[in-house]
Amino acid sequence: MQIEVSPNAKLVLLLAAIVAAICGGLYGYDTGIISGTLPLIGDDFHLNSTMKEMVASAILLGAVCGAFIAGSLSEKYGRRATTCVVSAVFVIGATSCAFSPNVWTLIVARLVLGLAVGGSTQVVPMYISELAPQERRGSLVTMFNVAIGLGILIANIIGFTQRESWGWRPMVGIAAIPAAIVFISMFFMPKSPRWSAENEGMRNAIIHLGRIRTTKRAVRKEVEAIRENALNVEEHNRGWRGLFQPWVRPALVAALGVAFFTQCGGLEMMIYYAPTFLNDAGFGASSALLASLGVAAVYCVMTFLGCMFVDRIGRRRLMLIMGPGSVLSLLCLGIMFMIHPAPGSAGSYLVVVFLLSFMAFNSGGIQVCGWLLGAEMFPLSMRGQATSLHAATLWGADLLVTSTALTMAEAIGLNWTMWFYAGVNLASVIFVFFFVPETSGASLEDIEVALLEKRFRPTRGNTRIASDDDEDVEEAA
């Protein structure tokens, strides 16, 4: 078949990644806005701590379900079509939250919103990873993380500046507008070439690759890799059955382990409850909300920097560099909560410094890689099911942390809560060192071959998965 390459391939690829990543912004906004609206909702509906936790965590329960539903849809109807469905559910969920007449309706509406949030985290990183060339996959997929950070930052800015004038209903309902824009825009974006190859034939895959690759040689090389891997896939290596085959287990352990530590490291807890923790530490309401705005700003900046450098530094190395900083920051934060410095004292400002330093190390390290690894580690024949399980693990861990954070802080104190999460972050560094190989520079097909040939796990002196380009360089030399 004749290959046609679009002269605007780079622009089309970038636009597709940006439009899809806006779903990450919606996720960030819808989860981040709760820190500013929860006090208002609590006053409006006269809620105790338990009911506030239910309102905050309802979106997470929906997200676990949404991840599995989206996985099925993305395999059957495609990544692009599923992203359209997810954006439509975002519109419905945000609108329903804004018009909720009582707390139980609000909880149900946030469950619906959670379906979209979970669905977006399953399908969007996978969609972008299947569009992206291997040398740019890390930076393009982590645009999803950058969008999450922007969404959280915007949510906190609105929460800090408009909470009195807007009220909580417009603050939660406004997310329907960008969701509608994504819904319309996705109809003009390319389909995943890899999904097309499996479900619509190689001819359609070539057409979609031609829209996002700059040379015919690049299209031919990628098509050949997709075709070769497809020929080697046996029926028992497909879908849920394939996901639990022994040869896939190293990827399953690595991706799900990082997913667990991404959410259980405490960052989401800080995003949700930073104002509450700072209030308990003696800060006034305005100061606590302003500090939470700083939390969101640091998250946004560090995920952007991580996006810029994740392909150059590498996923594994980035997590190993940043992880110890998270541990140290939480240890120091726990000490400051134990001392309980007086409001306005130097010690009280150190609380904010250590809080922001934890956000910097965590969001610039494992948070950048948590969604990325799930999108790139699994073979095509089971990628939809695998990313469902990966996203559900992320959301299940998030639900566990969010639904217990306030209770834990009340039971054992803020200092021991911070030290507990310091231990979790230390465990994540150890896990990455022993179980997570370097995937930067390797194509999705290279990673699949490494699994089949049982050379996926990091070994002494060899922590990186080799790519076809490495072999080309060796042959040229």
Q: Which CATH number does the domain housing residue 297 bear?
A: 1.20.1250.20
Q: Is 266 left (phi over 0), alpha (psi -120 to 50) or beta?
A: left
Within-domain flag for 203:
no
Segments of 174-237 assigned E as strands: none
Task: Say what the pLDDT of residue 226 is.
Answer: 84
Within-domain flag for 216:
no
Q: What is the mean pLDDT of residues 7-31?
A: 92
pLDDT band at 119 (very low <50, low <70, confident <90, very high): very high
Give the dihedral of Cα atoms 3, 7, 10, 16; nearest 10 deg. Answer: -80
CA distances from 302 to 4, 120, 359, 458 (A): 39, 22, 8, 27
Decide: 468 and 229 in contact? Cβ < 8 Å: no
Decide: 261 and 431 in contact? Cβ < 8 Å: yes
Decide: 142 and 310 in contact? Cβ < 8 Å: yes
Within-domain flag for 201:
no
Within-domain flag for 295:
yes
- CA pair distance 277, 317, nearest whole angstrom: 32
Q: Is 165 left (phi over 0), alpha (psi -120 to 50) or beta?
A: alpha
pLDDT band at 123 (very low <50, low <70, confident <90, very high): very high
Task: Say what the pLDDT of residue 342 is.
Answer: 73
Look at the alpha carbons of 338, 344, 346, 351 in this order and tell me if their dihedral is positive or negative: positive
Query: Which residue, 35, 59, 53, 422, is CA-closest to 265?
Result: 422
Query: Which residue, 370, 356, 368, is CA-closest to 312?
Result: 368
Share of the chain above pLDDT 90, in %: 49
Task: Say what the pLDDT of residue 167 is.
Answer: 85
pLDDT over 70 at 261, yes or no: yes
CB atoms near residue 207 (< 10 Å): 18
Task: Say what the pLDDT of residue 475 is.
Answer: 43
- Segments forming the whole domain that contains residue 375: 9-189+233-476
Task: Say what the pLDDT of residue 5 is.
Answer: 82
Which helix (DSSP H) or strand (DSSP E) does residue 411 occupy? helix 383-435
One DSSP character per residue, 341-391 reads: PPTTSHHHHHHHHHHHHHHHHHHTTHHHHHHHHHHHSS-GGGHHHHHHHHH
Count of domains observed in the chain: 1
pLDDT band at 198 (very low <50, low <70, confident <90, very high): confident
Within-domain flag for 423:
yes
Decide: 393 and 259 in contact? Cβ < 8 Å: yes
pLDDT single digits (tens) 302-341: 999 999 899 999 999 999 999 999 999 999 999 998 987 7
The tokens of 354 are what? 């250590």
Query: Which residue, 180, 59, 182, is CA-closest to 124?
Result: 182
Task: Say what the pLDDT of residue 284 is.
Answer: 67
For tokens 């190689």, the residue is 202
- In the DSSP assignment, the letter for residue 110 is H
Within-domain flag for 219:
no
Within-domain flag for 226:
no
Higher-pLDDT residue of 279 and 29 is: 29
pLDDT single digits (tens) 56-94: 878 888 888 999 999 999 999 999 999 999 999 999 999
Q: Which of 12-26, 97-111, 232-246, 418-432 has the lowest mean pLDDT?
A: 232-246
pTM, two decimals, is 0.84
For the chain, give percent helix, strand, coil, nearest 5.
80, 0, 20
Half-sphere exposure of residue 356: CA atoms within 13 angstroms, side-chain side: 17
- CA pair distance 232, 253, nearest whole angstrom: 23
Q: Which residues contact 63 (CB under 8 A, 6 or more apart)?
A: 114, 115, 117, 118, 121, 391, 395, 398, 399
Within-domain flag for 209:
no
